[in-house]
């Protein structure tokens, strides 16, 4: 059975204001979904709420991941289960080198999934660290980032595009089953969009599912999502296949939003 992220009638408020108003969506491993929608429609709210941001209060509905209700879980527990969020605005963290941080995250993840006897095995640790270093180097190179980024402090002084690519490096190393990418393509130059899209494509397979939030068809051209959804005012208002993205690119959102209003009235 495919592992799935099942969002059912999700309602989320921020500072007392309801942003998600009953959103339903299922993303299975093996599938790539894309969400498009106007500014302020609640896309990032959905992403952050799924990851467990404390400011986003779930007031209704449920979210199952691999059949387990994750709404009561801490963000780190969701990560251990295999959920990942590439941030629209990655945070800068002074003094925390990217490589060392990822190694800590990796170890936290392994510590959760393995039933170890709790004894530290120095030799195995050193070996794992060696492998990790190699992998980090390979992933940085995949995303066209210099090796020194491993030593640089997390996102500090990174350009906008470098931050986004570093998010994908992290995603590659942590190997989630379901990844949410919030406007990873925004702020990327044309070549970087291709680099990022190719990196996402590499992960594609029966064990990996993705929810890609974007404003541009550009990135979708590179990996053809299986489903495209349009979000407006806290709900999914239309779903289709890749051709919907093409249609949106040509016509904008108005025809859908107006159509929806008509449908409501």
Residues that bind ligand ATP (CB under 6 A): 14-15, 19, 37, 39-45, 55, 88
CB of 54 to other proteins, least distance (A): 7
**Residue placing its CB nearer to ligand ATP in the complex, 42 or 99:** 42
CA distances from 114 to 93, 108, 264 (A): 29, 10, 51
Our CB check for other proteins shows the closer of 112 and 202 to be: 112
Residues making contact with other proteins (CB under 8 A): 51-55, 74-76, 78-80, 84-85, 87, 90-91, 93-96, 101-102, 104-106, 108-109, 112, 153-154, 170, 174
Residue 14 near which of other proteins, ligand ATP, Mg ion, none (CB within 5-8 Å, type-dependent): ligand ATP
Smaller CB separation from Mg ion, 32 or 48? 48
User: Which tokens hold the place of 210?
Assistant: 């993705």
Minimum CB distance to ligand ATP, residue 221 (Å)? 20
By beta-carbon proximity to ligand ATP, the closer residue of 43 and 165 is 43
Q: Among positive and negative, which fits the CA dihedral 52, 36, 213, 245?
A: positive
Q: Look up residue 254 and give its two tokens.
A: 């108005």
Judged by CB under 5 A, the stretch of 14-22, 24-32, 43-51, 150-158 that binds Mg ion is 43-51
**Which tokens in the block code for residue 108?**
């936290």
Instruction: Tell me which of other proteins, ligand ATP, Mg ion, none is bound by residue 62, counting a contact when its beta carbon lies within the kind-specific cut-off of 5 to 8 angstroms.
Output: none
- Sign of the alpha-carbon torsion through 156, 101, 176, 108: negative
CB of 245 to other proteins, least distance (A): 27
The pair of three-digit structure tokens given for residue 70, joined into one six-digit string: 């994750």
In angstroms, give the least distance from the CB of 142 to Mg ion: 26
Binding site for Mg ion (CB under 5 A): 43-44, 88
């Amino acid at each position: 059975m495919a592992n799935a992220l099942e969002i059912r009638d999700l309602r989320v408020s921020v500072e007392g204001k309801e942003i998600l108003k009953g959103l339903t969506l299922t993303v299975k491993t093996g599938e790539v979904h894309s969400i498009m929608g106007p500014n302020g429609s609640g896309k990032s709210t959905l992403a952050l709420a799924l990851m467990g941001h404390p400011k986003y209060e779930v007031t209704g509905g449920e979210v199952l991941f691999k059949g387990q209700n994750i709404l009561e879980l801490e963000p780190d527990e969701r990560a251990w289960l295999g959920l990942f969020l590439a941030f629209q605005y990655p945070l800068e963290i002074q003094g925390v080198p990217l490589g060392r941080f990822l190694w800590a995250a990796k170890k936290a993840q392994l510590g959760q999934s393995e039933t170890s006897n709790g004894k530290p095995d120095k030799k195995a640790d050193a070996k794992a660290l060696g492998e990790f270093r190699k992998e980090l180097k390979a992933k940085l190179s995949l995303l066209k980032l210099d090796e020194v980024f491993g030593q640089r402090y997390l996102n500090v002084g990174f350009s906008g595009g470098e931050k986004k690519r570093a998010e994908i490096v992290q995603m590659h190393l942590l190997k989630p089953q379901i990844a949410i990418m919030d406007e990873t393509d925004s702020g990327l130059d044309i070549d970087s969009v291709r680099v990022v899209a190719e990196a996402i494509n590499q992960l594609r397979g029966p064990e990996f599912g993705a929810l890609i939030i974007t404003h541009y068809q550009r990135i979708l051209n590179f990996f053809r999502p299986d489903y495209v959804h349009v979000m407006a005012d806290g709900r999914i208002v239309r779903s289709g296949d890749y051709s919907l993205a093409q249609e949106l690119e040509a016509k904008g959102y108005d025809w859908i939003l107006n159509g929806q209003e008509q449908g409501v009235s």
